[in-house]
Structure 1
Amino acid sequence: MKFLRPLLLVALWLGLAASAAAEQTELRYQGWTGQVTFPELAEDLGYLAPVKLEWIGNTISGPQDIQTVVTGDIDFGGAFNGAVAKLIAAHAPIKPVIAYYGVDDTTWNGYFVRADSPIRSARDLIGKKVAVNTLGAHHEFMLREFLARGGLTPAEIQQVTLVVVPPVSGEQALRQGQVELTTLGGVLRDKALERGGIRKLFSDLDLYGNFSAGTYVLRDKFIKDNPATARRFVEATARAIEWARNSPPEEVRARFDRIIAQRKRNEDNSTIKYWKSTGVAGKGGLIADKELQVWIDWLVKDGVLKPGQLRAATLYTNEFNPYRTEAVGVAAK
């Protein structure tokens, strides 16, 4: 009998290894030109192995990214939490598993007018054009919140025209008078401020303070069929977020530069020197109820959702995040 126990343990280990081997170990995803995502950083740091990333192209739209997850063309994607909640409300079989971007004192999106613009308040935007990167995402929700707080009625808000403009063209569209207000964040914001001649009307930091704004999602079926891979993806991404949070910014920027140079996607890495922080509120990208509930409430107020149709606590999971037991006030689920 004394030899039987080791044999049983070996058999159990082999069985678990065989089960893990049957899972998908390549994750298809879309990247962002000139940027390094946290899953990409995780792979470079060696946290993701044996799982590998398979880049299939780039995107400039969070809603498009998560819709591509729903269609099965990629395995994970990320978007603003309002867009995630809206897609789940449409019965999309996806689940947020980790926060990946947000707003803090150095990482935020500003809404800018020309320095000589007469626009000083929300009401001044009635009849004006505003540049956003895509519809139904972070930039639109923040603008609508600013307008609502400024006392505009739903009918008046409808009179503010949204114009879809690639982020890199937002400053030019503003300066040339094609729009009266444009959204600028990160390097695009900093470069535009260096050139002068623009003025901040408001920012997402002004509206909500520090918060995680977007999450990566996986399909429900992917999680069911590939639990070990799902866990490794979240654990690795969480560790990468914490590495970036706790490393000197110059070290993070140097690593991003090297990753971009090595992947050879014919892209400009000049924006990396402006990277300042992760912007992620929760440790390791932990998701908090309030980061989804605030947008659910907005969708209810907007008539898109019925009261009680969605509850934030049921939409996401922190199950795979290695930092969930360390958090205070975050659901360890």
Structure 2
Amino acid sequence: MQRRVLGLAAVVITVVGVAGCGSSDPAESGSTSSKGDKTTQVKVGIVPIVDVAPLYLGQKKGFFSSRGIQLEMVSAQGGAAIIPGVVSDQFQFGFSNTTSLMIAQVKGVPIKSVVNGSASTGKVGADVSGVAVKKDSSIKSAKDLAGHTVAVNTLQNIGSTTVRESVRLAGGDPSKVKFVEMPFDQMPAALEGGRVDAAWMGEPALTIAKAQGARLVASPFAETDPKLTLATYFTSTKLTKQNPDLVKKFAAAVGESLQYANDHPDEARQILTTYTKIGGDVLNKLALPSWPTDVDMASLQKLASLGEADGLFDGKKPDLNALFS
């Protein structure tokens, strides 16, 4: 897994450079005619994780095809690949965590969030991410993470920001936490082998680590805000102007998919087997995110404030209304 946010910062120049180098008209580039009816081929850049289950479920249920959209999911390593891919018309839409979108916006990347993606369950101890330690670790709570090394999948992003908030809320000193970057799938072994003191993991890595005896000491998303909007689907500002009807139809189809996934969690869980290698006990035990149809602006305002305190935005403030509403 490539570095997502450090990579994102590194490719901003590339993004701006290629912004005008895709198809001259993204509104037309994906359209074909089938039996007299216009069908628009839409590519969505995604990370194949639990959070995007509604997209696959909605495709299966026909929520996209009923709106004339032929959906294709294209896996990428993370925002460092998805964001420039959207801006250069490689993808019409993309999926990204909200902090990465804020970072891109303040760097001048022309993107716009169009529909919600996923949110925290709001349940401390049963969320889609958590900080775990070895069973016999001296770390008993988030406060004790100060002075220790914590693995995160990307430095200076939503993980480290929310972990620091958990430490702060527990009465510890967040400035004394040392973060190291590591792919989620390597964290359970690194924790078990003592290469890190703690690891902030998403699913299914968190469930795998628990099965190996790891103990949960913090649920940063839920502790930061129980309604925290974690990720959204976004597009280029160019597409919102050139083909607003497509954007509207895509957002409506995703919204219907989110609602269906929330109402049918067993089906959402089962669809994971079609695009991931998750199965067995891990499939049955892992926590699914919440999939509300709307972003929670209050939670994003808090996340942005925490990001500002962490220096993620180079002294600038993300325009949340322009980005998410």
Length-normalised TM-score, structure 2 = 0.75
In 2: Cα distance, 1:208 partner to 1:296 partner: 12
Q: Which amino acid aligns with 2:41?
A: E
Q: Which residue is 1:301 aligned to?
A: 309
Q: Which residue is 1:81 aligned to?
A: 98
Q: Which residue is 1:238 aligned to?
A: 255
In 2: Cα distance, 1:295 partner to 1:242 partner: 24
Larger Rg: 1
Q: Which residue is 2:15 aligned to?
A: none
Length-normalised TM-score, structure 1 = 0.74
Matches within 5 A, 1:154-169: 157=175, 159-169=176-186
In 2: Cα distance, 1:168 partner to 1:109 partner: 13
> 1:23–1:229: 8 Å Cα contact kept in structure 2?
no
In 2: Cα distance, 1:273 partner to 1:316 partner: 33
Give 1:311 shift.
Answer: 4.1
> Greater CA deviation, 295-304 or 83-92?
295-304
Q: Which residue is 2:42 aligned to?
A: 27
Matches within 5 A, 1:30-49: 30-33=45-48, 35=50, 37-49=53-65
Give 1:51 shift.
Answer: 1.4
Give the match's secondary structure for 2:137: coil
Give 1:246 shift.
Answer: 1.1
Partner of residue 129 from structure 1, selected from 136, 141, 149:
149
In 2: Cα distance, 1:91 partner to 1:75 partner: 19
Q: Which residue is 1:8 aligned to?
A: none
In 2: Cα distance, 1:191 partner to 1:228 partner: 42
In 1: Cα distance, 2:180 partner to 2:316 partner: 32
> 1:78–1:215: 8 Å Cα contact kept in structure 2?
yes
Q: 1:291 to 1:217 in 2, by over 3 A?
A: farther
Q: Which residue is 2:12 aligned to?
A: none
Q: Which residue is 1:92 aligned to?
A: 109
Give 1:84 shift.
Answer: 1.4
> 2:47–2:95: 8 Å Cα contact kept in structure 1?
no
Matches within 5 A, 1:118-197: 118-122=138-142, 124-150=144-170, 157=175, 159-196=176-213
Q: Which residue is 1:286 aligned to?
A: 294
Q: Which residue is 1:52 aligned to?
A: 70
Partner of residue 219 from structure 2, selected from 194, 197, 203:
203
Q: Which residue is 1:268 aligned to?
A: 277
Give 1:34 shift.
Answer: 6.6
In 2: Cα distance, 1:133 partner to 1:307 partner: 24
Give 1:22 shift.
Answer: 4.1
Gaps of 5+ in 1: 1-19, 261-266, 318-333
> 2:46–2:75: 8 Å Cα contact kept in structure 1?
yes
In 1: Cα distance, 2:141 partner to 2:287 partner: 29
Give the match's secondary structure for 2:235: strand
> 2:133–2:197: 8 Å Cα contact kept in structure 1?
yes
Q: Which residue is 1:10 aligned to?
A: none
In 1: Cα distance, 2:172 partner to 2:100 partner: 23
> 1:40–1:53: 8 Å Cα contact kept in structure 2?
no
Give 1:121 shift.
Answer: 4.9
Count of residues in Structure 1 that have an aligned counterpart in Structure 2: 283
Deviations 1:210-237 (A, max 9, x none): 3322111111001111212111111111
Give 1:115 shift.
Answer: 1.8
- % same residue: 23
Q: Which residue is 1:111 aligned to?
A: 131
> Greater CA deviation, 186-195 or 221-230?
186-195
Q: 1:23 to 1:69 in 2, by over 3 A?
A: closer
Deviations 1:281-319 (A, max 9, x none): x3xx212321321122123333455888444223223xx
Q: Which residue is 1:316 aligned to?
A: 324
